[in-house]
């Protein structure tokens, strides 16, 4: 077996170099180096003696070393990469009983989620360092576009780049990006799975089988089915299933080909949370004696659900990938990835803040239900080719990666035309309500009857094309001084057709199509960093990086057709300077990191007047980040960190409502720590603590006159974990999520609603492996 020694083209024993290994081709495949290597029992990394391995919940973990990046764009080990990167390994995903992207990213401080609104309603909307990054999610290095909620059953690990990273990923919001690294075929056969049951009617079954049918060929299949209710919100239930087969030929040889497919199907009750306090007026004579909550969020019970049985949310994802990698010689390798993906986000949801102001009638507050709907299908085709190698020039060692990326995205959007024929009656005296659809503001009834007409409206379509070339190099200036550089050029364009419909009684009677002018941009982004290595296991660094955000994704962070006003605008530019230190201790078992950073976006688009837009806005986020990952001792595992962010809208729109305010979804202090300890050879215990300080949600104007600020109060959440090894092939795992049943607001959009976090839930999982 070939084993070249330069970064990015390493052939590792018993590990397929398929989809996960080509993650860097389109931007973001990162291997774990901030944590101890975590592999399934059938494929431990063969770098440590068995005596240094431990097992927690049937997951064998090599506690000897941390691993290097798998992305070829990272031309040095992560220890020597001058920027903040967090890698969440499979062990943490499984031990925390994570099932969604939001569950996983809870373990990484400084990342929050926005509520359903804007370009990514009712979909994953992560915020990294104060910037919405919903369109900056990647699967094995290829951008995963379209609004959707993501699963974890086929993930090996999750990797987060923090700070502007357009040099890796192309256009982006400037906060960072997230890569989901998939499971791939291995060279040896194994089978494993899990069955879980819990409170709130929770169930989950997974299966993971790998069949090596030839010396260097294998088929791997992952399956999942799950469902249940949302703890604390009894009317909100979900079910989903997924399948992910992958086939690899030439494993650990000079030429390897991997074919993979991923399908996820989700059906759940959509949840737009609870209303804001601005839904009603306060201090009016003759109304109730309640006082307006300081947070600006209505003081209703956690399980108050404003939806109806008519509501739905269905999502689908289908992703097919072909990846081929060939080692030309010990110093050079080429890889090609072809990706075709299609996602669908289809929902109709009751929005508790969108039906007009509540009215005090017959001694209590009543509200009219509002609706939001979307049918959004996104189709993506991507081709990526890169060349990785090493050479020596003028006595200086170089490790490089150069590549080309081409992609095309088609985004179809429609809303539903809804007409109510009969619904929950409004009380006598309620004015301007129309037909039905009323409920009590403080005691909504999701069982209210509703009948009517629902028809999908016409499609608005946008087509986006992107071509880019990029190059990276790490130069060993001396044994202790490394120069890391990267540059990327993007040619990006989008063109759309907007559809406007007229309707009567829920039936579309006419459609007007408006073609929008083509919008094109080209931009160059780069990064430069310097590493000084006091010891082989430590580094001190300083770096500077940039990012570009085309105007059509700046607001909602999703590709939609650009308006004429946006065509004349340039991409928003984000820059960041960062200084930090990384240190692998205890024979590379534990990784420590720390950084200070300052991120600025100085030409953000803002409204100069009601009809004029210009690039005069400015936002700033600066702070400190500390991370820890790995093993303190052979029995004690830790993962987490602390992030401090001081954010500010420096220059804003002509209304100046938010100038001087912190950015939405950007808390000053976040702490995340998950730890386990093996108290007996068969027993491990542990848990997690997660603290998020007060988080600004937005500033709603209108009747509030620009002073109606909304924020999610601070909270501390605790989780508990225990695992008992029954035999070499089976173990039991107990998780209690939100152990103290803490009531807190997970996110708010500051305009319509806030989303309560799930309550306490106990889960018992049987893990097996052969």
pLDDT per residue as tens digits for the range 487-496: 999 999 988 8
233: domain range? 78-272+304-769
Q: How confident is the model at residue 14 (pLDDT cuts 50, 70, 90)?
A: very low
Q: Can you tell me the distance from the alpha carbon of 166 to that of 523, in angstroms, rounded to the nearest whole number?
A: 10
232-277, pLDDT tens digit by residue?
988 899 999 999 999 999 999 999 999 999 999 999 999 889 999 9
Beta strands in 516-558 (DSSP E): 519-532, 538-549
Tens-digit pLDDT profile for residues 759-768: 999 999 999 9
Does residue 54 form part of some domain?
no
In a domain, 24, yes or no: no
Name the residue with higher pLDDT: 30 or 453: 453
- Burial class from Cβ neighbours inside 10 Å (0-12, 13-18, 19+) for residue 103 reads middle
Rounded Cα gap, residues 273 and 304, in angstroms: 8
- Rounded Cα gap, residues 673 and 78, in angstroms: 21
CB atoms within 10 A of CB 32: 31
Q: What is the mean pLDDT of residues 389-395?
A: 93
Residue that is written with structure tokens 């031990």 in the block: 95
Q: How far apart are the first and last CA of the chain?
A: 26
Under the banding of pLDDT at 50, 70 and 90, the label for residue 701 is: very low
pLDDT > 70? residue 655: no
- How far, in Å, CA of 650 to CA of 601, rounded? 10
Residue 61 has pLDDT above 60, yes or no: no
Q: Does some domain include residue 72?
A: no
What SS3 state is found at 142? strand
Asked if residues 687 and 721 have their Cβ atoms less than 8 Å apart, the reply is yes
More confident position, 630 or 55: 630
Q: Which of the given ranges, 103-112, 144-153, 208-217, has the highest pLDDT on average?
A: 208-217
Helix (H, G, I), strand (E, B) or coil at 169: helix
DSSP letter for 739, please. Answer: T
pLDDT tens profile 138-189? 888 888 887 778 899 999 989 899 988 899 988 887 888 888 999 999 999 9
Q: What angle do CA 64, 69, 74 make, to 5 degrees?
A: 150
Q: Is 150 part of any domain?
A: yes
Q: How confident is the model at residue 74 (pLDDT cuts 50, 70, 90)?
A: confident
* Among candidate residues 644, 653, 649, 652, the one with its CA nearest the CA of residue 662: 649
Q: Which residues contact 65 (CB under 8 A, 6 or more apart)?
A: 36, 37, 45, 47, 48, 587, 588, 589
Give dist(CA 667, CA 130) in Å, integer: 9
Residues 689 and 739: their CA atoms lie apart, in Å, by 10
In the chain, how many domains are there?
1
Bridge partners of residue 176, in order along the sequence: 162
Residue 280 lies in a domain: no
Closest CA to 147 of 409, 501, 498: 409
Higher pLDDT, 447 or 34: 447
d(CA 53, CA 681): 12
What whole-number distance in Å separates Cα of residue 536 and Cα of residue 479?
9
Phi-psi category of residue 632: left, alpha or beta, with phi > 0 → left and psi -120 to 50 → alpha = alpha
Q: Which residues pair with 562 in a beta bridge?
A: none
Dist. CA 93–CA 206, nearest whole Å: 14
From CA 332, how far away is CA 344, in angstroms rounded? 39
Rounded to an integer, what distance in angstroms lies between the CA atom of residue 66 and that of residue 582?
Answer: 12
Residue 249 burial by CB count (10 A; 0-12/13-18/19+): exposed, middle or buried? middle
Pick the residue with more confidence: 580 or 702?
Answer: 580
Asked if residue 183 is part of any domain, the answer here is: yes
Across the chain, mean pLDDT equals 84
Q: What is the CATH number of the domain that holds 692?
A: 2.40.170.20
Domain-embedded: residue 32: no
* pLDDT attached to residue 705: 39
Does residue 557 lie in a domain region?
Answer: yes
């Amino acid at each position: 077996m070939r084993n070249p020694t330069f970064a990015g083209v390493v052939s590792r024993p018993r590990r397929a170099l398929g989809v996960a290994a080509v993650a860097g081709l389109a931007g973001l495949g990162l291997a774990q180096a901030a944590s101890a290597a975590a592999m399934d029992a059938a494929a431990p990394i063969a770098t440590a003696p068995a005596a240094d391995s431990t097992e927690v919940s049937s997951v064998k973990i090599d506690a000897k070393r941390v691993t290097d990046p798998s992305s070829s764009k990272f031309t040095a080990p992560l220890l020597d990469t001058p920027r903040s990167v967090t890698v969440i390994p499979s062990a943490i995903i499984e031990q925390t009983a994570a099932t969604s992207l939001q569950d996983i990213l809870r373990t990484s401080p400084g990342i929050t989620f926005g509520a359903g609104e804007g370009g990514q309603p009712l979909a994953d909307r992560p915020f990294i360092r104060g910037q919405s990054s919903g369109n900056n999610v990647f699967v094995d290095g290829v951008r995963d576009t379209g609004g959707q909620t993501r699963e974890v059953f086929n993930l090996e690990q999750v990797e987060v780049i923090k700070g502007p990273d357009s040099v890796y990923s192309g256009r982006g919001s400037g906060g960072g990006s997230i890569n989901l690294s998939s499971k791939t075929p291995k060279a040896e056969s194994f089978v494993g799975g899990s069955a879980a049951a819990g409170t709130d009617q929770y169930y989950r079954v997974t299966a993971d089988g790998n069949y090596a049918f030839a010396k260097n060929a294998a088929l791997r299949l992952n399956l999942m089915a799950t469902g249940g209710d949302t703890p604390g919100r009894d009317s909100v239930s979900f079910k989903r299933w997924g399948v992910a087969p992958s086939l690899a030929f030439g494993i650990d040889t000079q030429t390897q080909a991997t074919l993979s497919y991923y399908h996820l199907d989700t059906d759940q009750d959509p949840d737009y949370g609870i209303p804001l306090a601005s839904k009603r007026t306060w201090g009016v004579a003759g109304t109730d004696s309640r006082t307006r909550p300081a947070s600006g969020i209505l003081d209703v019970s956690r399980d108050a659900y404003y939806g109806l049985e008519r509501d739905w949310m269905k999502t689908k994802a289908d992703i097919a990938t072909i990846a081929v990698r060939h080692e030309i010689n010990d110093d050079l390798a080429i890889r090609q990835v072809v990706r075709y993906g299609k996602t669908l986000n289809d929902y109709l949801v009751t929005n508790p803040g969108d039906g007009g102001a509540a009215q005090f009638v017959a001694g209590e507050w009543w509200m009219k239900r509002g609706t939001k709907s979307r049918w959004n299908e996104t189709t993506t085709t991507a081709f990526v080719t890169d060349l990785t190698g090493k050479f020596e020039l003028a006595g200086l060692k170089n490790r490089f990666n150069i590549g080309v990326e081409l992609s095309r995205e088609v985004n179809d959007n429609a809303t539903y035309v809804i007409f109510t024929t009969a619904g929950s009656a409004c009380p006598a005296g309620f004015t301007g309500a129309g037909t039905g659809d009323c409920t009590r503001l403080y005691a909504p009834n999701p069982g209210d009857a509703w009948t009517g007409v629902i028809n999908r409206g016409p499609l608005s379509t946008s087509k986006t094309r992107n071509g880019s070339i990029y190059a990276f190099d790490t130069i060993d200036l001396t044994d202790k001084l490394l120069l890391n550089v990267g540059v990327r050029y993007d040619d990006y364009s989008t063109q759309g057709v907007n559809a406007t419909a007229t309707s009567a009684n829920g039936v579309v009677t006419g459609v007007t199509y408006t073609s929008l002018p083509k919008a094109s941009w080209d931009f160059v982004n780069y990064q430069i960093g310097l590493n000084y290595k006091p010891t082989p296991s430590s580094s001190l660094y300083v770096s500077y990086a940039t990012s570009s955000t085309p105007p059509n994704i700046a607001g909602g962070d999703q590709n939609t057709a650009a308006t004429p006003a946006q065509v004349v605008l340039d991409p928003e530019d984000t820059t960041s300077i960062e200084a930090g230190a990384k240190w692998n201790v205890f024979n590379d078992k534990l990784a420590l990191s720390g950084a200070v950073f300052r991120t600025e976006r100085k030409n953000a688009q803002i409204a100069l007047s009601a009809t004029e837009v210009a690039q005069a806005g400015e936002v700033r986020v600066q702070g400190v980040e500390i991370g820890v990952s790995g093993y303190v001792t052979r029995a004690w595992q830790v993962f987490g960190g602390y992030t401090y962010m001081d954010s500010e809208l420096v220059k804003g729109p002509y209304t100046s409502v938010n100038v001087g305010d912190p950015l939405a979804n950007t808390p000053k202090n976040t702490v995340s720590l998950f730890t386990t300890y093996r108290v007996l050879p068969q027993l491990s215990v542990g848990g997690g603590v997660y603290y998020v300080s007060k988080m600004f949600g937005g500033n709603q104007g209108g009747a509030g006159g620009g002073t109606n600020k909304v924020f999610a109060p601070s909270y501390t959440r605790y989780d508990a974990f225990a695992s008992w090894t029954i035999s070499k092939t089976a173990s039991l795992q107990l998780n209690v999520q939100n152990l103290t049943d803490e009531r807190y607001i997970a996110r708010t959009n500051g305009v319509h609603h806030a989303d309560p976090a799930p309550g306490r839930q106990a889960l018992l999982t049987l893990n097996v492996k052969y």
